[in-house]
Amino acid sequence: MLPVVVGLGIVLMLPSLLYLTLSWKLEPWSSPAAKPETDGPGPEPVSIVLPTYNEAQIVEQTLDRLCSLSYPASKLEIVVVDSSSDGTADVVRSFFETRDVEGPALTLIEEDDRGGVARAVNLAIEAASHDIIFRTDCDSRLGSDVLEHAVANLQDPTIGAVTGRQTEVLGQSKVEENYRDIQARNQALESHLDSTFIVHGPCFAFRREYFQPISTDSLADDTEIAVNIRKQGKRVVMDPEMRFAEVGVSDIRGRRQRKDRRAMGLLQLLGRHRDLLGRYGWYGRFVIPFNWFFLVISPWLLTAFLATVFLMLFLVLGPVGIVGPVALGIFVALGNWDLLGPLQPFYVVFDSQISLAIASVRLLSGDDDDGTWELDAGSRDVFERES
């Protein structure tokens, strides 16, 4: 049984070691896009897409921050698609009606029923006036120069979309901070090899001409947009200079609500776009296979690894073998409380694998989602407290 444990451990570790080695060799900590050295004839106009659902308490702050970005306000349009029941649309209208300075134009679309983020994004982009689309969320903060960097990346004719890097976690969750650091390293490497697979909805820009309407039941609308753009021959990259902040929590139950749903969306997307494998350059030959391994295969290998280790301990030690599950429980509890110190990144990886395993089971059992979302009260409280 020991050879089985060792074999599973090696298979689990090798892809990650390969990624770390490539990252160390390439040092990909900048955008791979050929950004112009001058502004050219002037900044391109940008349509900012903002889906909202029951955001009345925070939408005014979000709009104020968007209007305060360093990009010329006369070049901006904010497209809000709202399906709220708390008067969010009234707050949006009032904000623009009472502003005494010239700012971005407003396009407000009010839905009669909740159709989910994907439908809202489709409606917003259909109504947008400009070629460059910047998609964001109400409960995030953007760096003041984020649009300048986004537009600069999109001047490269090989680039169809660009996402940013989360540089701050609102709520001071070490679990989320470590997860975002690991994810950013992966995204940077993938961007230099070809294109990144996962993008961030709160900070994501692309050219409208490459947008294809997304499935209304999509649980990862941002990444689905990116995949469709890559299929059209354009690269999707991450620029670390496009900075944003978002809420993160360490509590395992709080993380399940957000992370499990996101994991379902990514798995759903990989399954629907199986034709990516082996195609589209290094994207289909390396980036997508790695994501298949980490998102689909690895959680089950980890489950088999732990089950084999626990079984071996019980066979060798008898009842004393309970030390294995107990040790795992202590590891999870300490990680949940951000108390693992230098071992915290290992818990982060373990936590992500939990989400992926749960998501796999839910998808296999036919637990489909209609694309709507419920407000995360805990995360919302953190955002309001930190705003």
pLDDT digits (tens, 9 = 90+) for 52-101: 999 999 999 999 999 999 999 999 999 999 999 999 999 999 999 988 77
Residue ranges covered by each domain of the chain? 1-387
How do 76-82 and 159-170 pair as beta strands?
unpaired
The pLDDT confidence band at residue 249, using thresholds 50, 70 and 90, is: low
Sequence-ordered strand ranges (E) for the chain: 46-52, 76-82, 105-110, 132-135, 140-142, 159-170, 204-207, 235-247
How do 159-170 and 204-207 pair as beta strands?
antiparallel
How far from chain centre, in Å, is Cα 376? Answer: 16
Of 106, 140, 102, 139, nearest to 124 by C-alpha is: 106
Cα 172 to Cα 178, 179, 206, 352: the distances in Å are 11, 13, 30, 18
Over residues 208-235, the mean pLDDT reads 96
Please say whether the beta carbons of 191 and 280 come within 8 A. no
3-state DSSP assignment of residue 106? strand
pLDDT on residue 307: 94
The yes-or-no verdict on residue 255 having pLDDT over 90 is: no
In sequence order, what are the beta bridge partners of 168? 245
Lowest mean pLDDT among 133-137, 170-174, 247-251, 268-272: 247-251
User: Hey, CA dihedral for 277, 281, 285, 289, is it positive or negative?
Assistant: negative
pLDDT on residue 371: 62
How do 159-170 and 235-247 pair as beta strands?
parallel
The yes-or-no verdict on residue 118 having pLDDT over 90 is: yes
Q: Whole-prediction pTM value?
A: 0.92
Over residues 248-265, the mean pLDDT reads 74
Cα(195)–Cα(226) distance, rounded to whole angstroms? 9
Over residues 14-37, the mean pLDDT reads 82
The yes-or-no verdict on residue 189 having pLDDT over 70 is: yes
CATH architecture of the domain covering 1-387: Alpha-Beta Complex (3.90)
The yes-or-no verdict on residue 165 having pLDDT over 70 is: yes
The residue behind tokens 């994207």 is: 283
pLDDT on residue 22: 82
Cα(312)–Cα(294) distance, rounded to whole angstroms? 25
The yes-or-no verdict on residue 381 having pLDDT over 80 is: no
